A and B are shown apart, each in its own frame.
Chain A
Amino acid sequence: MSGARGWFRRNGHLVVFLLPGLVLYGLFMAYPLLTSLSYSLSDWHGLVRGAFSGLANFVKVLGQWPYNARFWGALSHNALFFALTLAIQSSLGLFLAALLSRKWRGFAFFQAVYFLPYTMSMVVVGFLWLLLLNPTWGPVAHGLRLVGLDAWVQPWLGQRSTALITVILVNAWHWLGFPVLVFMAAIQGIPREFYEAGLVDGANEWQGFRHITFPLLLPSLAMMSILTFIWDFNAFELVFVMQGASGAPNYATDLLATFFYRTAFGDPTTGGEPGQIGLASAIGVLMLIIIGAASAFGVRFSQRTQTEY
């Protein structure tokens, strides 16, 4: 008894620090998610939960057409979504951050402009680009026709070959300002002495970036990549708003989250087919495993680079 009291006197602050967060997070996030997990192991009849069904839902998602085709398709789209976004933010984003952190006259303005779309709701961004890219009435098509490039006018969001790329680029338009902001903060956090040491060695700007800035940026780059991975594998709103819950055309823009949503609640665009909660929960669990494994690896990598720093 006195031992426990003694423990609390020594460690009570830890309980006070941790408990509110644990309760909030445990009750409103962990509990519902874990319960969903158990949903994935049950048979469902519409909204009625049936008997325990083991891994049947998983077998169906991974092995039975058309679910398996949808699953692997969506997974590959998410992978492309992430790869392209990562490529853009680590090239253009990093370049902009390196440039803008010199703080020349007017650079604050440029930075503000690049960040502007990030403040807008995905709903607004989606609808905005839907209208801008409209091949019939949209300004982009109009502009191309104005300069005689009629042949360039394409149903960008309607054809298989361009739909996913277009959505990814719209997402990049919305997103890019954020990594730029983070990279800039990291670059400006590098002590000046590092560069001064480099200048004494006669390094030029590129060498300075290559040998001083970049290695010191690695932790931020890694962290940003993990965040991007997580967000891109949870991406939902943009496709939902622009391409509908089925990731039109013919699932070309289908993502894991839209596949999950459709399976859970039925495809709203077809006016309410029944949802399959067991299958949907299985998809959710698979998403959890993929995202979890990849980010655990990423976090480990980022921690390793951090210790070097």
Chain B
Amino acid sequence: MKSIGGKRLVAALLVLALLGVAAAQSLTFWSWRTEDVDAYNGFIAAFHKDHPGIDVTFTPYKNTEYNTILSTALQGGGGPDIVHLRAYGGMEPLAQAGLLVPLGDKVPALKDFDPNVLKAATNRADGKVYGVPFALQTIQVLYNKDVFAKLGLSEPKTWQEFLDVAQKIKASGIDALANGSKDPWTVETLFGGVAPAFYGCNAFYDKMAAGTATFEDPAFKTALQRMVDLEPYLASNYQGVAYSDMQSLFAYGQAGMLIGGSYELGTLAQLAPNFHVGSFLIPNDQGKTCETFYVDGSYGINAASKNQDADVQFINFLASKAYGQMFTDTLKQISAVPGVVPTDPVLAQMANRMHSEGTPYLMLTLFRYGQPSGSTLLQNEMQAVLAGSETVDQAAANIQRGVATWYKFQ
């Protein structure tokens, strides 16, 4: 015991000597992950153990306010040292405005990251990486194993089987799907769970990325139509069912399935610790599947930070495998650090499918770089289609028209 303590002291003194400072440096770290305060304080404690000269204060802001606060603060030359960055179009303006530090030569571990994952933190204008991606999310059907067992149901292999499963759950007196449409963004989650298999997974995605296909492509319209086909199986009064209701409905056994993200597993474990959850992908008519995935965001450094050395040390910690493992074990989310395997079996299954048949979340990864974003258009148009005030054709035409105002189609 004594010798370990002594070693630690020597290490601490060494670090201090290296830094050339006697006093502890304190870093501020802003985030929108209000749910994860305890987890991050734990991560920071682990970092502090090895870097006693650096204190990090984690300050989360409300999800919906975070972008405003962050961009306002950074533009004003203030803000924290370490920033939790959104992904793709959400971080790029900050990088383009020169408010972030490029990390390419400061974080050696980044070269091992999947290039597709790094896209989420890359400024397309200069090709540089400005953040260390932290979590990957996948979208799929989560189901209540107890409900499936009670009704003698098994994971469906074709679209028709899926509709049959939904019909049987509904006939048993509970909702088939917990999904609602009160919160627009959950409509896009529904899209992420249903559409890819019908629009043709990565083949179509690549065409969209190249600008050679449009949202009025018959395959895309079919995909939207499949969402509408699920309308009878959504939660009762689904138009008034908000995200938190979806979580409660599923967790308390009032609905048999939930089309949702891998991030639901953490919440589910909190709401219903004894819940037996399974997951599958929605198959198309021929039984083909693919799994939507995306990078949640990344960790970056404020260019105006006065503690650049300490910032780089902390960011390197966040890019380490040790951190990735800690992250996935604590938060039950897939870490973006390569080589980290989730210990939770359901999460591991999602991660595996992502590696074998993953397809990037269409609107988030391609169409959030301008306004009106593909996400905004999709969410609102599909809200209207589900409510019966618009047709799929009209919705597809509007999405195309909106995105075409800033995106180059061939």
A contact set with B: CB distance below 8 Å? 45-48, 64-66, 130, 133-137, 141, 153-160, 240, 244-246, 248-251, 261, 263-276, 279
Q: Please tell me which one of the listed residues B71, B188, B239, B375 contacts residue A155 in the complex, with CB atoms under 8 A apart.
A: B239
Are B94 and A270 in touch, CB under 8 angstroms? no
A136-B235, A137-B245 known; A271-B97 Cβ under 8 A:
no
Q: Please tell me which stretch of B7-15, B147-155, B197-205, B376-384 contacts chain A, meaning at least 4 of its Cβ atoms lie within 8 angstroms of it.
A: B376-384
B368 at the interface (CB under 8 A from A): yes
The 8 closest A-B pairs by CB, nearest first: A155-B240, A272-B90, A46-B93, A158-B239, A158-B240, A272-B86, A135-B237, A155-B239
A283 to B402, CA, bound (A): 19
Chain A residues, CB < 8 A from B92:
46, 274
Are B96 and A45 in touch, CB under 8 angstroms? yes
Query: Can you list 17 A-B pairs with a CB-CB distance of less than 8 A?
Result: A45-B97, A65-B402, A136-B249, A153-B237, A155-B241, A157-B182, A240-B64, A248-B183, A249-B387, A250-B380, A265-B67, A266-B371, A268-B64, A269-B183, A271-B90, A273-B368, A274-B89
A270 to B188, CA, bound (A): 9
A9 to B237, CA, bound (A): 73
Are A47 and B368 in touch, CB under 8 angstroms? no
A47-B99, A249-B383 known; A244-B240 Cβ under 8 A:
no
Chain B residues, CB < 8 A from A134:
240, 242, 245
Residue in chain B with minimal CB distance to A272: B90
Are A158 and B184 in touch, CB under 8 angstroms? no
A47-B75, A272-B67 known; A250-B240 Cβ under 8 A:
no
Residue in chain A with minimal CB distance to B370: A274
Q: Please tell me which one of the listed residues B188, B239, B405 contacts residue A249 in the complex, with CB atoms under 8 A apart.
A: B239
CB distance from B385 to the nearest CB of A (A): 9
B68 at the interface (CB under 8 A from A): yes
> A135-B241, A248-B183, A274-B371 known; 11 other A-B pairs, CB under 8 Å?
A47-B75, A47-B99, A48-B96, A64-B405, A159-B239, A246-B380, A261-B68, A269-B183, A269-B185, A272-B67, A273-B90
Are B369 and A274 in touch, CB under 8 angstroms? yes
CB distance from B299 to the nearest CB of A (A): 15
Chain A residues, CB < 8 A from B91:
272
Are B371 and A158 in touch, CB under 8 angstroms? no
CB distance from A145 to the nearest CB of B (A): 11
A241 to B357, CA, bound (A): 38
Residue in chain A with minimal CB distance to B67: A272
Chain B residues, CB < 8 A from A248:
182-184, 380, 383
Are B90 and A266 in touch, CB under 8 angstroms? yes
A267 to B68, CA, bound (A): 10
Are B63 and A268 in touch, CB under 8 angstroms? yes
Residue in chain A with minimal CB distance to B384: A250
CB distance from A29 to the nearest CB of B (A): 18
Are B97 and A48 in touch, CB under 8 angstroms? yes
B254, B364, B380 pick with most chain A CB within 10 angstroms: B380
B65 at the interface (CB under 8 A from A): yes
Residue in chain A with minimal CB distance to B402: A66
A48 to B235, CA, bound (A): 44
Are B364 and A271 in touch, CB under 8 angstroms? yes
B391 at the interface (CB under 8 A from A): no
- In the complex, how many residues of chain B place their beta carbon closer than 8 angstroms to a beta carbon of chain A? 60
CB distance from B234 to the nearest CB of A (A): 11
Chain A residues, CB < 8 A from B328:
none
Within 8 A of A (CB), among B340-373: 364, 368-373
A46-B93, A270-B379 known; A158-B182 Cβ under 8 A:
yes
A269 to B64, CA, bound (A): 6
B contact set with A: CB distance below 8 Å? 63-68, 71, 74-75, 86-87, 89-94, 96-97, 99, 180-185, 188, 235-242, 245, 248-249, 254, 364, 368-373, 375-377, 379-381, 383-384, 387, 389, 398, 401-402, 405
A245 to B373, CA, bound (A): 14
Residue in chain B with minimal CB distance to A241: B64
A46-B92, A46-B94 known; A268-B68 Cβ under 8 A:
yes
Chain B residues, CB < 8 A from A244:
64, 183-184
Are A274 and B93 in touch, CB under 8 angstroms? yes
Residue in chain B with minimal CB distance to A243: B182
A159 to B254, CA, bound (A): 22
A48, A160, A268, A274 pick with most chain B CB within 10 angstroms: A274
Chain A residues, CB < 8 A from B368:
270-273
CB distance from B375 to the nearest CB of A (A): 4
A46 to B90, CA, bound (A): 11
Are A272 and B380 in touch, CB under 8 angstroms? no
Residue in chain B with minimal CB distance to A269: B185
Are B387 and A160 in touch, CB under 8 angstroms? yes
Chain B residues, CB < 8 A from A271:
86-87, 90, 185, 364, 368, 375
Are A275 and B71 in touch, CB under 8 angstroms? yes
Are B375 and A273 in touch, CB under 8 angstroms? yes
Are B373 and A273 in touch, CB under 8 angstroms? yes
Q: Please tell me which one of the listed residues B185, B387, B405 contacts residue A270 in the complex, with CB atoms under 8 A apart.
A: B185
A136-B249, A273-B368, A273-B376 known; A46-B97 Cβ under 8 A:
yes
Residue in chain A with minimal CB distance to B296: A271
Are A136 and B66 in touch, CB under 8 angstroms? no
Are A157 and B240 in touch, CB under 8 angstroms? yes
B188, B239, B387 pick with most chain A CB within 10 angstroms: B239
Residue in chain A with minimal CB distance to B369: A274
CB distance from B14 to the nearest CB of A (A): 40
CB distance from B280 to the nearest CB of A (A): 25
Are A154 and B240 in touch, CB under 8 angstroms? yes
Chain B residues, CB < 8 A from A270:
184-185, 188, 368, 373, 375-376, 379
Are A246 and B239 in touch, CB under 8 angstroms? no
Chain B residues, CB < 8 A from A268:
63-68
Are B180 and A158 in touch, CB under 8 angstroms? yes
A154 to B240, CA, bound (A): 8
A148 to B74, CA, bound (A): 56
Chain A residues, CB < 8 A from B236:
135-136
A264 to B371, CA, bound (A): 11
CB distance from A154 to the nearest CB of B (A): 7
Chain B residues, CB < 8 A from A267:
373, 376
Are B240 and A269 in touch, CB under 8 angstroms? no
Chain B residues, CB < 8 A from A137:
245, 248
B182, B369, B398, B401 pick with most chain A CB within 10 angstroms: B182
Chain B residues, CB < 8 A from A66:
372, 377, 398, 401-402
